[in-house]
Amino acid sequence: MSDMKDRGHLLTEQNNPNSQNLDELSTLEMVDVFNKEDQKTVDAIAHCRTHLAQAINLAAASLREGGRLFYVGAGTSGRLGVLDAAECPPTFCTPPEMVQGILAGGAAALLRSSEALEDEADSGGKAILDHKVTKRDVVVGITAGGTTPYVHGALQAAKQRGAATIFIACVPAEQVPVDADVDIRLIVGPEVLAGSTRLKAGTVTKLALNILSTGVMVKLGKVYGNRMVDVAVTNTKLRDRAIRILRDLTELDRAAAGALLDESDLQVKVALVMHLAGLEKEAAIAALQSTDGNLRSALASAKK
């Protein structure tokens, strides 16, 4: 392992004056310190609102044209990317390849820390090649401290292949400049436990990824109002949610909503078009296909 220059100047590595006596606090005092510091994550998101909106628009435009969204990271940052990607198929019924997480060290690093792998810029670049990233794709590099070589290697390779790039870090741009299409800086200050970026930095990153992926899916027509109408009905809980969505939007009773869901082959959007537009299943499917799956547009078209 080669020595790198001192990283002590980075915001994520500095000491937090509000927790300097952390080991001397009572348990309740310690919890209060965490709570007070964690409140900064919401302010950091508000500060980045325009950049998050840009990222949503960029990713939605790419995915609408058949592109893919990749999250790339190491350690906590990478695991958060994998988590967000894994949650898209059940929530929005997306194919697994549409949103993917690339983690330094692969699947094994999800369960056992492989932090040394983050130093390998070439491995980040190779991961981009292995996933056959193209100019239609979007690559999001996630690194709390902003310096992770694996992430920078991946972003460089992505740019060389013409992909759009988004950078997410918790240090100011002047500390770690980067060339990306969208540069999101989630500034939450030093951690309660100095340098432990699984804390505030991890929390604010989770918030940002939630907003990014959900915003993209809204733009892609996966949401109607604030309902996840593309939910994959794969278990009892999700069937119950699907039935409740149908009840709320159609005023059917539970039994009728359940029957409608079954008639649609467990496709909530199809069920809604069938009921609200008075169409048979195949016609409802065709109406949705004609609007790229946008329920609101399909209903408007079918009712004309």
Residue 32 identity: D
Which residues does 279 contact at the CB level (< 8 Å), separation at least 6?
273, 287, 302
Of 105, 101, 140, residue with least CA distance to 119: 105
Handedness of CA 51, 198, 43, 147 (dihedral sign): negative
**CA–CA gap between residue 229 and residue 271 (Å, rounded):** 10
CA triplet 126, 132, 136: central angle to 5 degrees?
Answer: 125
Residue 74 identity: A
- Radius of gyration of the chain measured on its C-alpha atoms: 22
Give the active site residues: 87, 118
Quick one: how far is CA 65 from the chain centroid?
A: 19
Residue 226 identity: N
